[in-house]
């Protein structure tokens, strides 16, 4: 639809410019061949003056040059057309003779002509407007509202031509002539209607392309101005014909009111249409966004379900594998313990067995950690709360680490921050695992100084606090230390371990809370 509109408007521009050029050529031919029919149409009609025919020829060429992108030639034609119109208006306004009326042709047809060869004042005004329009179209003159300005000029030319032609149809002579001055010829009126249509078509085409709309928002203004111009011209004609009275004023008032209401109604309709389109676009965007979000949510849900299935399958596999590995490894450790008690072995053999036993214990720790983590992720681990004596529970752990810190030659301090309950209800095995993991990490990474283990009771909650003088943890590593198989620090500061202890500890604490 848009392509058809643009092509139609472009064709209109070329056609109207061509018709104007042909009109000028035909009438000029009539003047040179003394053919009164070509000059007057009918003997009683006003002749098209030679300069008028020349103006149509030049302005038509200007339109064709614009259509075919000959910008400089179009500007030249626009200047000539404007000059013909303005110089003639100067002659009328100031009552002077600039000797342009019969510069190229001595007139021999002077029907209803105030000055031989001088075009009508309304004709001169139309040529001035047409010349300006060509200069605007060729961008010799520019404004912020280029298309609107061109459209208004075209509408004024059409209005003046329509008024004059209507005067011929209704036999109102004053409609195509101002006072006793030279009248506008009938084919001159039609020529200006044609030129005005071409100018308006260009403005329409330019505005439609700029605004990406079939009907530019400003088209209502030239239309309303054209209606108002017609009203003024009719008022002038009736005033001159009737010599005053109420009718001319009624016609003028009705015409101006109609044109004003037309502009207001159309602008309100355009605003409503734009508002409706804006709402529609917003609704479409919202619907599209909602649909996209729904699709994203569905895809995320599917991905989550697949990830959970894969994670459970992985955890199940690891749990099974860890169990299968732990069984033969326990046999290996059992035999190394037996061999360690064998007094027939020399020191070298005992050292080798100790290495095997130590490596086996490390591997067993790794398998146990993997098994615990797999059970937690597969939701196969359950807390089994039982009642136990808290004091004995803590003392056993303290005794265990007292022996370990002696080997590292660091201190270990156990401190009760408040009175502790004697009996508690909790999963003793998992609580012991959490505390041992925390204390084990502290001892492992402390080379000098010591480790303190503090326990307090407040508001029916027991708080376990571990402090050490070890290497510490960098702030950027705080989020990583609870991830599986991750250890803080560099290769030099990392101790032996699987990197699973804190991850398991965190998950167990979350289950206990």
Phi, psi of 297 (to 5 degrees): -65, -40
Q: What is the CA radius of gyration of the chain?
A: 51
Q: pLDDT grade, residue 493 (50/70/90)?
A: very low
pLDDT at 166 over 70: yes
pLDDT at 129 over 90: yes
Residue 362's Cβ-side half-sphere holds a number of Cα atoms within 13 Å equal to: 11
Percentage of the chain modeled with pLDDT above 90: 26
Q: Which helix (H) or strand (E) holds 410?
A: none
> What is the predicted pLDDT for the residue at 484?
67
pLDDT at 176 over 70: no
**The dihedral formed by the CA atoms of 59, 65, 69 and 73, expressed in degrees to the nearest 10:** -90
Q: How far apart are CA 236 and CA 121, in angstroms?
A: 14
pLDDT at 491 over 60: no
Bridge partners (DSSP) listed for residue 388 = 424
pLDDT: is 456 or 365 the higher one? 456
Q: How far apart are CA 450 and CA 423, in angstroms?
A: 29
The string of DSSP codes covering 37-58 is HHHHSSTTSPPPPHHHHHHHHH
**DSSP secondary structure code for residue 171 in this structure:** T
Q: Say which residues have a Cβ less than 8 Å from residue 488's Cβ, sequence separation at least 6.
A: 473, 474, 477, 480, 481, 494
> What is the predicted pLDDT for the residue at 1?
46
pLDDT: is 53 or 304 the higher one? 53
> What is the predicted pLDDT for the residue at 436?
86
Query: How much is the average pLDDT of 129-154?
Result: 90
> What is the predicted pLDDT for the residue at 396?
87
Query: How much is the average pLDDT of 129-151?
Result: 90
pLDDT: is 282 or 499 the higher one? 282
Q: At CA 174, angle to CA 172 and CA 175, rounded to 5?
A: 70
**DSSP secondary structure code for residue 413 in this structure:** E
- From 9-23, 369-383, 421-435, the region with the lowest mean pLDDT: 369-383
Q: How far apart are CA 102 and CA 31, in angstroms?
A: 12
pLDDT at 478 over 60: yes
Whose CA is closest to 120, among 49, 54, 168, 191?
49
Q: Which two tokens stand for residue 310?
A: 């894969």
**DSSP secondary structure code for residue 383 in this structure:** -
pLDDT at 322 over 70: no
- From 53-62, 333-342, 390-399, the region with the lowest mean pLDDT: 333-342
Q: pLDDT grade, residue 490 (50/70/90)?
A: low
Q: Say which residues have a Cβ less than 8 Å from residue 130's Cβ, sequence separation at least 6.
A: 55, 59, 81, 85, 153, 157, 192, 195, 196, 199
> What is the predicted pLDDT for the residue at 78?
95
Buried b (16+ CB within 10 A) or exposed e, 438-472: bbbbbbbbbeeebbbbebebeeeebeeebebbbee
Q: How far apart are CA 251 and CA 256, in angstroms?
A: 9
pLDDT at 101 over 50: yes
Average pLDDT along the chain:
83
pLDDT at 91 over 50: yes
- From 55-69, 300-314, 326-340, 496-510, the region with the lowest mean pLDDT: 496-510
> What is the predicted pLDDT for the residue at 380?
64
Whose CA is closest to 223, among 259, 264, 252?
259
Q: What is the pLDDT of residues 39-76, one digit of tens each?
A: 998 888 889 999 999 999 999 999 999 989 899 999 99
CB 66 within 8 A of CB 13: yes
pTM over 0.75: no
Polymer length in residues for the chain: 513
pLDDT at 96 over 60: yes
Q: What is the pLDDT of residues 13-48, one digit of tens each?
A: 899 999 999 999 999 999 999 999 999 988 888 899
Bridge partners (DSSP) listed for residue 415 = 454
Q: Provide the sign of the torsion angle of the four alpha carbons 479, 481, 485, 489, taken in this order.
A: positive
Q: Which helix (H) or strand (E) holds 424?
A: strand 423-426
Query: How much is the average pLDDT of 456-461?
Result: 90
- From 69-78, 285-294, 324-333, the region with the lowest mean pLDDT: 324-333
CB 260 within 8 A of CB 233: no
> What is the predicted pLDDT for the residue at 492?
44
> What is the predicted pLDDT for the residue at 37?
92
pLDDT at 95 over 60: yes
> What is the predicted pLDDT for the residue at 430?
85
**DSSP secondary structure code for residue 111 in this structure:** T
pLDDT at 142 over 90: no
């Amino acid at each position: 639809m848009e392509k058809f509109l643009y092509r139609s408007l472009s064709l209109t521009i070329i056609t109207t410019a061509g018709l104007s050029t042909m009109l000028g050529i035909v009438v000029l031919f009539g003047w040179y061949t003394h053919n009164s029919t070509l000059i007057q149409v009918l003997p009683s009609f006003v002749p098209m003056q030679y300069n008028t025919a020349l103006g149509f020829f030049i302005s038509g060429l200007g339109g064709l040059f614009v259509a075919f992108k000959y910008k400089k030639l179009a500007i030249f034609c626009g200047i000539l057309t404007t000059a013909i119109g303005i110089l003639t208006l100067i002659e009328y306004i100031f009552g002077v003779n600039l000797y342009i009326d019969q510069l190229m042709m001595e007139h021999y047809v002077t029907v209803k002509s105030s000055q031989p060869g001088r075009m009508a004042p309304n004709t001169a005004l139309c040529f001035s407007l047409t010349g300006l329009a060509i200069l605007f179209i060729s961008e010799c003159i520019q404004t912020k509202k280029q298309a609107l300005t061109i459209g208004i000029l075209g509408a004024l030319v059409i209005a003046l031509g329509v008024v004059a032609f209507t005067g011929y149809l209704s036999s109102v002579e004053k409609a195509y002539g101002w006072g006793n001055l030279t009248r506008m010829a009938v084919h001159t009126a039609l020529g200006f209607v044609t030129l005005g249509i071409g100018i308006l078509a260009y403005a329409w085409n330019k505005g439609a392309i700029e605004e990406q709309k079939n009907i530019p928002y400003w088209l209502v203004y030239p239309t309303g101005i054209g209606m108002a111009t017609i009203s003024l011209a009719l008022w002038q004609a009736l005033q001159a014909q009737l010599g005053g009275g109420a009718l001319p004023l009624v016609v003028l008032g009705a015409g101006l009111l109609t044109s004003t209401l037309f502009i207001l109604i159309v602008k309100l309709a355009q605003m409503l249409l734009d508002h409706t389109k804006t709402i529609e676009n917003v609704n479409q965007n919202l619907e599209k966004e909602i649909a996209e979000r729904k699709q994203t949510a569905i895809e995320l849900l599917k991905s989550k379900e697949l990830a959970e299935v894969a994670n459970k399958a992985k955890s199940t596999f690891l749990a099974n594998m860890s169990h299968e590995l732990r069984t033969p490894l326990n046999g290996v450790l059992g035999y190394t313990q037996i061999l360690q008690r064998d007094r027939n072995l020399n020191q070298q053999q005992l050292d080798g067995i100790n290495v095997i036993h130590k490596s086996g214990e490390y591997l067993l720790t790794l398998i146990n950690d993997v098994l615990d983590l797999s059970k937690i992720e597969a939701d196969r681990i359950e807390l089994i709360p039982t009642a136990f004596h808290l004091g004995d529970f803590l003392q056993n752990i303290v005794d265990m680490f007292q022996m370990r810190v002696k080997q590292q030659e660091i201190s270990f301090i156990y401190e009760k921050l408040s009175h502790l309950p004697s009996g508690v209800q909790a999963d003793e095995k998992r609580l012991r695992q959490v505390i041992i993991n925390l204390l084990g990490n502290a001892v492992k990474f402390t080379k000098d100084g010591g480790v303190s283990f503090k326990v307090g009771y407040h508001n029916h909650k027991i708080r376990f606090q571990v402090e050490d003088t070890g290497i510490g943890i960098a702030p950027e590593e705080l989020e990583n230390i609870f991830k599986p198989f991750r250890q803080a620090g560099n290769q030099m500061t990392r101790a032996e371990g699987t990197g699973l202890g804190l991850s398991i500890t965190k998950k167990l604490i979350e289950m206990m809370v």
